[in-house]
Chains A and B, each alone.
Chain A
Amino acid sequence: ELKVEQNPLFLSMQEGKNYTIYCNYSTTSDRLYWYRQDPGKSLESLFVLLSNGAVKQEGRLMASLDTKARLSTLHITAAVHDLSATYFCAVDRQGGSEKLVFGKGTKLTVNP
């Protein structure tokens, strides 16, 4: 059974600081996604990572994938308050029916 673990689950940081969220998964997968969710809202797709060594960046967020270690990271650079949200990673089971297995999420609070 595919399992996805994120850490930390809660992260409080100051504006201007850097931090990394980790996502480990237990079996081989085709794709790894990072999503952002604001309270009471839907999921906003941030990144789709398809291959080993993939790195994608958008603004202050950068995601990477190491398929051999079954690890993805979401790095936050010089955090700003607007980044406060819950971030989920999700993994698509290899050869599966597109059902995603989600981590529990990292609730990020950026303090002024």
Chain B
Amino acid sequence: NAGVMQNPRHLVRRRGQEARLRCSPMKEHSHVYWYRQLPEEGLKFMVYLQKENIIDESGMPKERFSAEFPKEGPSILRIQQVVRGDSAAYFCASSSSVNTEAFFGQGTRLTVV
């Protein structure tokens, strides 16, 4: 059973471009969480999704950021018109249900130049 797969592992974007980060959860996992980690900081919750639904987006910036988890395919975190402050590591985690431990992917390290 493969773990949580994120791609790309590293992503470089120029200011103003769009960034798309993908997360394939573990098999049989229908709950996905996205976190952002700034340098020398802990992870900060962004959004919690189940298949086709956003359950909690209280950690998402109000503008430029969006997330989806379609019925088929990976979860996508989309950042439009990236700025330097978006440079961070973005981690995805998945779990099989609300009360079970979530497992983390390897992360996508976004650099905005």
Binding site for B on A (CB under 8 A): 4, 30, 33, 40-43, 45, 48, 88, 90, 97-105
Contact residue among A33, A88, A99, A104 (Cβ-Cβ distance under 8 Å from B59): A99
Size bracket of the B interface: 20 to 34
Residues of A within 8 A of B103 (CB): 45
Interface pair A97/B48, CB less than 8 Å apart: yes
Interface pair B91/A97, CB less than 8 Å apart: no
B105 at the interface (CB under 8 A from A): yes
Q: With A and B bound together, what is the CA distance between A41 and B109 in angstroms?
A: 10
Q: With A and B bound together, what is the CA distance between A40 and B107 in angstroms?
A: 9
Q: Which residue of B lies closest to A103 (CB)?
A: B42
Interface pair B98/A102, CB less than 8 Å apart: no
Q: With A and B bound together, what is the CA distance between A103 and B109 in angstroms?
A: 20
Within the complex, what minimum Cβ distance (angstroms) separates A109 from chain B?
14
Given contacts A42-B91, A42-B107, contact A98 B42 (CB under 8 A): no
Residues of B within 8 A of A98 (CB): 31, 33, 48, 95, 98-99, 102
Within the complex, what minimum Cβ distance (angstroms) separates B47 from chain A?
9
What 6 pairs across the A-B complex have the smallest Cβ distances?
Answer: A102-B42, A99-B45, A97-B56, A42-B106, A43-B104, A102-B43
Q: With A and B bound together, what is the CA distance between A40 and B104 in angstroms?
A: 14
B41 at the interface (CB under 8 A from A): yes
5 A-B residue pairings within 8 Å (CB atoms): A42-B104, A43-B104, A48-B101, A98-B99, A99-B33
Which residues of chain B from 48 to 92 have any CB-CB distance to chain A below 8 Å in the complex? 48, 55-56, 58-59, 91
A-facing mask of B11-43, CB < 8 A → 1, else 0?
000000000000000000001010100001111
Extra 13 A-B pairs, beta carbons < 8 Å, given A4-B42, A98-B31, A102-B35: A40-B109, A42-B91, A42-B104, A42-B107, A45-B103, A45-B104, A48-B101, A99-B33, A100-B33, A100-B45, A104-B41, A105-B40, A105-B41
Most B CB contacts (10 A, CB to CB) among A4, A41, A48, A100 go to A100
